[in-house]
Structure 1
Amino acid sequence: MTVGVKAIFVNLPVKDLTKSMEFFKALGFKFNEQFTDNNGANMVISDSIFVMLLTEDFFTSFTHQEITNTSKENEVIIALQVESKDAVDKLVNTAIENGAEDKTTALSEEEEAIMFYRRFQDLDGHLWEIMYMDMNAMDI
């Protein structure tokens, strides 16, 4: 069954909007200025995938709940598939050079046969997984 979803917007709280935007710009992401102000910024991942970086105060005005302490807990892993192993390394290495922390963990042999990935934790502790999957190696 299809429900007609046309796009996804992931909303993430950030401590310093300007620093977060600079971090993601260094990784090559663009921002839609039409949906960017002092409270939040619309980061474009693709034509239908967007991340809203929202100041913590603005984020909590929607949820009326505390923000996850990402130094102790994970709220989500944002996984992005890229076109090659080199693209994985380039993106993650750039993230680390700009203040992210490498959070890559080992894969099982079965996983390694079809996927190459690395993980980083951004400036606000959000976990990003960047992966390349060899679709020819998969049994689908």
Structure 2
Amino acid sequence: MRMIFVNLPVGDVVRATAFYEALGFERNADFSNDSASAMRWSDAISVMLLDHQFYATFTDKPIADTHKVSAALLCLTFDSRDEVDAIHAAARGAGGRETRAIHDQQFMYGGAFEDPDGHTWETVFMDMGATPPA
């Protein structure tokens, strides 16, 4: 099985962990410590929340202030419109900020929010039965 680990620099690992847990991510204690939290989204996708000092050991580049610049747009897919609505509500309730309101385009339904560190997460439900012809 192929997997992806998205590594994100965070200012406060405890705060970031709480935010992602509120969204439904599960913390993997085997790969977490005071400097990092391994947050599992699915069998194939995990997000590593790394404090700035630890993150800096993996790169010589400066860490982006994602409140001011866009470094990446990450996208999560969902099985229903209700799931999109639920994660947006959870993100807002846990200290995130909706950066693009949910928009219904019939076959696509989604928006975007950012976590407390400014990392942008897009959300989408795609109704393949409602896809317009090419």
- Give the TM-score, by structure 1 length: 0.88
> Aligned match of 1:72 in 47, 68, 74?
68
Normalized per residue, which structure has more strand?
2
Normalized per residue, which structure has more helix?
1
Q: In structure 2, the residue corresponding to 1:33 is in which secondary structure? A: strand
Show the counterpart of 2:9. Answer: 13
Q: Percent identity, aligned pairs only?
A: 36
Gaps of 5+ in 2: none
Root-mean-square deviation (CA, aligned residues, Å) is 1.7
Gaps of 5+ in 1: none
Tell me by how many angstroms 1:99 deviates: 0.8
Q: Does 1:60 align with 2:56?
A: yes
- Give the TM-score, by structure 2 length: 0.92
Judge conservation of contact 1:30–1:44 (CA < 8 Å) in 2: yes
User: CA–CA distance in 2 between the matches of 1:118 and 1:97?
Assistant: 16
Judge conservation of contact 1:89–1:118 (CA < 8 Å) in 2: no
Show the counterpart of 2:115. Answer: 122
Number of aligned residue pairs = 133
User: CA–CA distance in 2 between the matches of 1:37 and 1:135?
Assistant: 41
Tell me by how many angstroms 1:26 deviates: 1.3
Show the counterpart of 2:25. Answer: 29
